[in-house]
Copies of this chain bind each other. A is one copy, B any other.
């Protein structure tokens, strides 16, 4: 996760990726859409290109006009972006307008993106996930994510 955040975790990056996904591909289109400072946008795009998330394509006939295109790696951030949108829509709606509606053209229905298990297809719940980290991390293997949620709150400092 830290590695993902290294590339995607900076302030404007997810919004830039969303714009690229939606179809804003030119520097000034993105700048105008987001209201981001040009030096920051330039740095972000450079970094994304450097990390192979975005491709910078010369527009033919011009020496210094470019189009920014998502790579496969860039398109693959979709899952992150839609879960951000879905979370925002579930919890931070306020009075600032209705939630985004996603139309899934393959099934023809308006939907919400959820996280699912790639193997069985069922939605992932925190209490059904156990994770193993690779070497280098000091925490125990097989920690149950929800180990001490409802039934067993560690409300006292005793054990440790």
Which A residues are closer than 8 A to B by beta carbons? 1-9, 11, 14-15, 18, 20-25, 33-35, 57, 59-62, 65, 67, 69-70, 73, 75-88, 90-107, 109-126, 128-137, 139-151, 153-158, 160
CA distance A147 to B95 in the complex (A): 13
CA distance A73 to B6 in the complex (A): 25
CA distance A158 to B73 in the complex (A): 15
Q: Is the CB of A131 within 8 A of B115?
A: no
Oligomer copy total = 2
Q: Is the CB of A79 within 8 A of B86?
A: yes
Q: Is the CB of A134 within 8 A of B99?
A: yes
Q: Is the CB of B120 within 8 A of A84?
A: no
